[in-house]
Amino acid sequence: MTGIDIMSLLRISPLLAITLLIFVLLAFDLFVRKRGTAAATWLAAGGMALIAVGTLVFASRLASADPIWGGLLRMDMTAVVFISLISTGAAVTLVFASAEPRLARHGEFPILLVSAALGLALMAAAYDLISLYIAMELAGIPLYVLAGFLIHKKTSTEAGLKYFLYGAMSSAVMLYGFSLLYGFSGSMAFPAIASAFSGGSQTLLLCVASLLAVVGFGYKIAAVPFHFWAPDVYEGAPSEVSGFLATVSKAAGFAVLLRFTVIILPALGVTAQVAISVLAVLSMLLGNILAMQQKNAKRLLAYSSIAHAGYLLVGVAAGTAQSASAVFYYLTGYLFTNLAAFALVALAARITGSEDIESFSGLSRRNPRLALMFLVAFLSLAGIPPFAGFAGKLLVFYSAAQAGLNWLVVVGVLNSVLALFYYLNVIKLIYARPAPETQAASALANIGGVKGGLVLCMTAILYFGVFFLPWYDILARAGMMLWN
């Protein structure tokens, strides 16, 4: 047990910085009183962007595999990478939200979002059951509120309630799993739990406890069969919040899941691998098949994000340092791609007045640039080069093949054929169909920020699709450190 010294404070400086930002935002809301403008949202976006860069540049030098703060946290490269990704995702979300007056004009919105980001960042660094649980609740509660933020919109409040109920339920189950883990290992700390089970004597018990814990993680990443909340919540919640849930929240869930597999895989071996593979196959298949039948763009993206959780689980099942790096890479590209996809849907819905994909018909003639960005985002989701989705998918599948999970790779590639169908369907509507004549085109105001955010996302999608370096080397370090 270490006391509080300057080094352990510096190591958690990204988390402290996010906390500080929350206080600044609170003070800004109380004293500066710029209500009715998006000033607080922009302030939060700027702060999160600075934290993202700062974490990557400075905190990465202090990264080490030693647990800190009495074993509650571990600020290794995985934590650094994820805190940086989470902050980036939060910043981009805030930028997109700046154009939505129903969100950005309320001082509570940036405060809640940054609080959620703090919880998610803490999840990525948690190295103990207690800190993990606190982190997940810290992330969850603001997200429930955010999903139901549009209090005058019935679907949004419904989404908030639904998200909360599912969250509470899965949290309870997970907590029961945690209690079993604690009861039989005598410790809350991950390494102690790992060594308690390493003998292989209590395999069945570990199986049960892990399964219960995975309910909580599966809820966060929206993997089948813990996905039921996702389509309704994504559809009802404000698009920007849905994008945040589908990317940033999911990424943090994967960080936790990867840390957890490091604990349980050595003890459970093939059993755990098969279990995760089954989740992967179910998520891919069900996500893709149900996505084909969707008429609402946000529901389509919800099912697609379930399928993406499946592809990512292929990498988790492989259970190697290389596959962890591949999952990180996939998540990086996916973060920018899906944030852009939700923002584009929001933008198109503002133009056409509807979130139905049919209403996007003929968008390419009215707004070629928007259509082109749709094309890029959806092709990246489908895993087509030269976009990030292709690179990530290939790395994940390759790492699975390296781990001998060839059958899972075959299932994965077949699923990406199914997925291409519904992504192309949307692209077809945008490019090949004429626009409905009755539709009134409404002019867009205040979308400068959204444009900027989209350009950033497009650049990132292309960059991570074509250039692996230097990002992959950082991720490779993170993957190695995770398994040490």
Partner 1 sequence: MTWINDLPILTIMLAVPLLFAVAILCLPAGSKNAPRWLALAGGGFLFLLSTIVFFVFDKSTPGYQFVDTFNWLPALGISYRVGVDGISAPMVFLTGIVLLSGIVVSWKIEDRPREFFSYILFLGVSVAGVFSSLDVFQLFFFLEIAVFPKYLMIVMWGWPQKKEYGGMKLTLYLFLGSMLALAGILAVVSKAGINSFDITQLLGVKLDVGVQKLWFPFVFIGFAILGGLFPFYNWAPDGHVAAPTAVSMLLAGVEMKVGVFAALRLGIRLMPEGAKFWAPLIIVLATINIVYGAFLALVQKDFKYIIGFSSVSHMGFVLLGFASLNADGLLGAGMQMFSHGVMTALFFAIVGMVYDRTHTRDLEQLGGMSRKMPLAALGFIVAGLVSMGMPGFSGFVSEFPIFMGTWQAAPVAAIVAVIGVVITAAYILRTIGNVFFGAFPAEKLGEVSDIPWRDKVIVIGLSIILIAMGIFPSLIAPVIEQGTSSVLALLGGM
The residues of the shown chain that bind partner 1, judged by CB under 8 A, are 322, 364, 368, 372, 375, 379, 382-386, 390, 394-395, 397-398, 401-402, 404, 406, 409-410, 412-414, 416-417, 420-421, 424-425, 427-428, 431-432, 468-469, 472-473, 476
Tokens representing 185 are 């290992």
Given the complex with partner 1, which of 146 and 317 has the nearer CB atom? Answer: 317
Tell me the CA distances in angstroms from 66 to 15, 186, 188, one per residue in order. Answer: 17, 21, 16
Given the complex with partner 1, which of 334 and 472 has the nearer CB atom? Answer: 472
Given the complex with partner 1, which of 23 and 467 has the nearer CB atom? Answer: 467
Count of C-beta atoms within a 10 Å radius of residue 93? 32
Tokens representing 410 are 């075959």
**Residue 484 C-beta: closest distance to partner 1, Å:** 17
**Residue 395 C-beta: closest distance to partner 1, Å:** 7
Given the complex with partner 1, which of 57 and 292 has the nearer CB atom? Answer: 292
Rounded to an integer, what distance in angstroms lies between the CA atom of residue 472 and that of residue 399? 14
**Residue 402 C-beta: closest distance to partner 1, Å:** 5
296 bridge partner residues: 356
Given the complex with partner 1, which of 51 and 284 has the nearer CB atom? Answer: 284
Given the complex with partner 1, which of 219 and 483 has the nearer CB atom? Answer: 483
**Residue 224 C-beta: closest distance to partner 1, Å:** 21
Given the complex with partner 1, which of 42 and 398 has the nearer CB atom? Answer: 398
| CB of 47 closer than 8 Å to CB of 24 | yes
**Residue 322 C-beta: closest distance to partner 1, Å:** 8
Given the complex with partner 1, which of 109 and 464 has the nearer CB atom? Answer: 464
| CB of 275 closer than 8 Å to CB of 215 | no
Rounded to an integer, what distance in angstroms lies between the CA atom of residue 336 and that of residue 470? 17
Burial of 16 (0-12, 13-18, 19+ CB in 10 A): middle
**Residue 307 C-beta: closest distance to partner 1, Å:** 15
- What b/e sequence results for 174-206 when a residue is b if at least 16 CB atoms lie within 10 Å of its CB, and e otherwise? bbbbbebbbeebebbbbebbbebbeeeeeeeeb
Alpha helix ranges (H) inside 148-189: 154-185
**Residue 382 C-beta: closest distance to partner 1, Å:** 8
**Residue 442 C-beta: closest distance to partner 1, Å:** 20
- What b/e sequence results for 243-273 when a residue is b if at least 16 CB atoms lie within 10 Å of its CB, and e otherwise? bbbbbbbbbbbbbbbbbbbbbbbbbbeebbb
Given the complex with partner 1, which of 139 and 391 has the nearer CB atom? Answer: 391
Alpha helix ranges (H) inside 358-470: 363-366, 368-382, 388-402, 406-432, 448-466
**Residue 298 C-beta: closest distance to partner 1, Å:** 23
**Residue 349 C-beta: closest distance to partner 1, Å:** 23
**Residue 281 C-beta: closest distance to partner 1, Å:** 14
| CB of 243 closer than 8 Å to CB of 336 | no
Given the complex with partner 1, which of 306 and 475 has the nearer CB atom? Answer: 475
Tokens 């050595």, located at residue: 266
According to the 3-state scheme, what is the secondary structure of 46-63? HHHHHHHHHHHHCHHHHC
Rounded to an integer, what distance in angstroms lies between the CA atom of residue 445 and that of residue 422? 31
Q: What is the dihedral of CA 50, 52, 56, 59, to 10 degrees?
A: 80
Task: Find, among 92, 146, 117, the residue nearest to 450 by Cα.
Answer: 92
Given the complex with partner 1, which of 42 and 471 has the nearer CB atom? Answer: 471
Rounded to an integer, what distance in angstroms lies between the CA atom of residue 208 and that of residue 205? 5
Given the complex with partner 1, which of 119 and 383 has the nearer CB atom? Answer: 383
Task: Find, among 333, 175, 331, the residue nearest to 254 by Cα.
Answer: 331
**Residue 320 C-beta: closest distance to partner 1, Å:** 12
